[in-house]
Amino acid sequence: MPSVSSEVVRGQDGWSGTVVPPAPHTRSDPTHMLIQLESGEQFLVPVAVVIPLQDGSAYVPLRRAELVPAPRGDHTETRHAMMPVLMEELEVQKRVVETGKVRLTKVVHEREALVDEPLFREEVEVTRVPIQRVVDAPIPVREEHGTLIVPVLEEVLVVEKRLMLKEEIHIRTHRVETRQPQQVTLRREEVCVERMLNTETSETTQEG
């Protein structure tokens, strides 16, 4: 029997009991120990499976249903119990392992492009039109057929003072289309992917 400083024994599913020492001058099975539960029931436990604990108690890796009842009657008879046969099973698990890193580098490319778009500007054409006509009152500015007409008046000395329309200024606007080619800079981005492996080797790929 394992060396246990206390008589307390605990099982796998929470059961507990005490070790019953063999009676003096009786013959018992040295491969098993007798355990009595709190309910008074007695069971045989294989000594080989008993695990002593640091607090002095013992642990039995058996459930309550796996315990073998002790035979009733004379305790001098040889007691027998079933010993569990253990087998190890392989448990396979997966875990994530870092095998390398990826570094992205962005490269900007420049290229020249020709831009030739039409531009518009307005020009003013001024024409002086002689009139030399006497008028009775000032003539307002007017517009005829897209031409702005600005009267120019002048006082002249005659037998009597009258207004004379000396001339008219005709102003027209028209649109002139011109082209001014210019060089502009256009940018294009490119991503470079560099893989860094744990084996201190690197693989570099470029993605446009």
| pLDDT, tens digit, 9 for 90 and up, residues 52-104 | 888 888 888 888 888 888 876 544 444 455 556 667 788 888 888 888 888 88
Q: Distance (Å, rounded) from C-alpha 71 to C-alpha 34?
A: 10
3 located within any domain: no
140 with 158, same domain: the answer is: yes
Our measurement of the distance from residue 2's CA atom to the centroid of its chain's CA atoms, rounded to an integer in Å, reads 57
132 with 172, same domain: the answer is: yes
191 with 106, same domain: the answer is: yes
> 3-state DSSP call for residue 42?
strand
187 with 104, same domain: the answer is: yes
Q: How many domains does the chain have?
A: 3
Asked whether the predicted pLDDT for residue 149 surpasses 80, the reply is yes
203 with 169, same domain: the answer is: no
59 with 156, same domain: the answer is: no
170 with 186, same domain: the answer is: no
Q: What mean pLDDT value characterizes the chain?
A: 79
- Tell me how far CA of residue 186 lies from CA of 108, 115, 118, in angstroms: 10, 11, 20
Enclosing domain of residue 34: 8-69
158 with 203, same domain: the answer is: no
Residue 32 is predicted with a pLDDT of 83
Contact 34, 44 (CB under 8 A): yes
190 with 110, same domain: the answer is: yes
> 3-state DSSP call for residue 118?
strand
The two tokens of residue 12 are 């796998």
Q: Which residue has the tokens 């392992």?
A: 97
Residue 2 pLDDT level (bands cut at 50, 70, 90): very low
Look up the pTM and report it: 0.33
141 located within any domain: yes
